[in-house]
Amino acid sequence: MPYEGLIETNRCPVRTQPFRRLPRLKLGSVGGRRNRHDCPSTYGCQPDYPSTGQPEYKLVLLNAGSACRATTRGRSLEAFRGANLTTFRATAFCPASYPTSYIPSSLPLLPSSNSLNRSKYLSTIIPCRLQHTYLHIEAMTLPLSTRIKLPTVGEYDQPLGLFINNEFVAGVDGKSFEVINPTTEEVITAVHEATEKDVDIAVAAARKAFQEGPWPKMRPSQRGSLLYKLADLIEENSLLLASIESLDNGKSITMAKGDIAAVAGTIRYYAGWADKVHGKVIDTQPDRFNFVKHEPIGVCGQIIPWNFPILMFTWKIAPALATGNTIVLKTAEQTPLGALVVARLAKEAGFPPGVLNVISGIGKIAGAAMSHHMDIDKVAFTGSTPVGREIMRAAANSNLKKVTLELGGKSPNIVFDDADIDEAINWANFGIFFNHGQCCCAGSRIYVQEGIYDKFVEKFKERIQKNVVGDPFDPNTFQGPQVSQLQFDRIMGYITHGKSDGATVEIGGERLGDKGYFIKPTIFSNVRPEMKIMQEEIFGPVASIAKFKDLEEVIKLGNNTTFGLAAAIHTKNLKLAMDASNRLRAGTVWVNTYNALHFALPFGGYKESGIGRELGKAALANYTQTKTVSINLG
């Protein structure tokens, strides 16, 4: 339980403030009474932290004019590491009008010079202009799991640690970060944060599992059996997993249930492939026996995004495990919870230690460490194109590790005048507002042939008004909140750009409500190709509609982008559909549908939308390397 309540120090009452809802252990308090004119310089205090015993330990409050310096002195802080110490916090309370009004000031108490495991002195400056100051110092601890209550399944046990070698452990540096509920903007919990040291430990575990132990000795069919078991466990826990997606991602529970069904299907699909990765014999001359085989690459680093947390987790791990690799996977910092639960299910399914390691971390720290790591053989990333460039650069500058990148998009959704307009509108709505527009293949550029343009815009506006935006746990909700404050601000920034560039807001363009990261579904018209909203990936519920004359014009417009992930065509003319699909520079083209993804169909981009393909048989090539063996029979 958080350490809260009324504390008496020299009869000076102060109410503490909760910090991250984490368990607290008091290290000491010092302070002056209101009626004293001199601030006491030293008060001895003993910690009540059980793992430290009773070392010589003192908290010092020094009057320094307009500021106070608090210094803890005692033995090495390594003594605290046994209980997953994450941080210190010092809180100064300056009574402005004793006894009812206080001005709190909270600052982190960080090592002043030495590294954490060697430091004997911690200090911080408390900016307080009053001498009558109370100072309280606490240690904040983060457990390896916590209980979270969901409206669908009640309470469940949520892992918080780093999943390494089939165990949940604390990070080496004792760091953590908060997970925010995008619906309420409140903290759900905190999770342990992986740093470079934790990446090293996870990679070592994966390397050992790849080279030793039961994993490399397993028959391919045994790997497939483990994947089938994992798929069964995911189905058994499907409502829980879908609910976790709605909790930390904010997606509609209805959409989340669809995600989890696809998760189980994807794992089963690759379980079936495990014993079907075949080699071949190639004859060159009578006294030579030549054969070609496909071997696993080795240790794979995988970095997944926040828009489909568990589904992207599965797209990455399933083909890698089916082909015999081991994995270190980093979740997105916004949405780590679901993957940690699936990691626990993987252990239950029987995967050996070190085969699948799942860490929560920040991209610039843990993700960068993985991309640069000399003992990771391959890195797979789904996310933005700028980050993809950095990962590719890091892979080249380290050990030339193999790279698969599934990156951004700015997909054209083309409606010809012979299309079924109502069906086209339904698919256009699904194409852009599915998953709150947070989809790399979102149909954000809608091109409508001029003969039906005005009618399409009006009917599209009517259709959008039927979209229910709100509580993701309401089964009627179609669109929940955006995933984070950062993403909310980014999308609203693009909306502002669209307005200032002269585009017309047909509907939406505003925040919905005053709580949660909700944005009204938005349509821009009167757009020009050079506008920012037509060129850059917005990754939100924002569509831009433009008109075109004929096939030649719309092909030029559709291809006028640095991206090439997906495109769609709506027409009753099959020849026109085939012609257009052949000329559009995109990895996937849908005809009279949108977002028709399936685990058997390869998915990936042209141009700056990525390298390699996810899903289907094609994904197996991402995780295997070809070996030729030639035997002299003479």
Q: Just list the catalytic residues.
A: 406
Radius of gyration of the chain (CA): 28
The first and second tokens of residue 402, run together, are 């193999």
Instruction: Compute the C-alpha angle 474/477/478, nearest 5°.
Output: 150
> Which of 13, 154, 152, 155 lies closest to 93, judged by CA?
13
- Burial annotation 55-78 (CB, 10 A radius, 16+ → b, else e): eebebbbeeeeeebebebebeebe
- Structural contact between residues 463 and 429, judged by C-beta atoms closer than 8 angstroms: yes
| Bridge partners (DSSP) listed for residue 59 | 43, 72
Residue 288: enclosing H or E segment and its boundaries?
A: strand 288-296
* Residue with tokens 């990754």, as numbered in its chain: 539
Torsion of CA 281, 284, 285, 290, to 10 degrees: -40
**Ramachandran quadrant class, 506 (left: phi over 0; alpha: psi -120 to 50; beta: rest):** alpha
Q: How far does CA 172 lie from the centroid of its chain? A: 21
Alpha-carbon torsion, ordered 99, 103, 108, 111, to 10 deg: -70
The DSSP code for 614 is B
Q: Which residues of 384-396 are buried (b: 16+ CB within 10 A; e: fewer)?
A: ebebbebbbebbe
Which regions of 297-444 does DSSP assign to beta strands (E)? 299-303, 326-331, 356-360, 378-382, 402-406, 412-415
Strands 326-331 and 299-303, sheet pairing: parallel
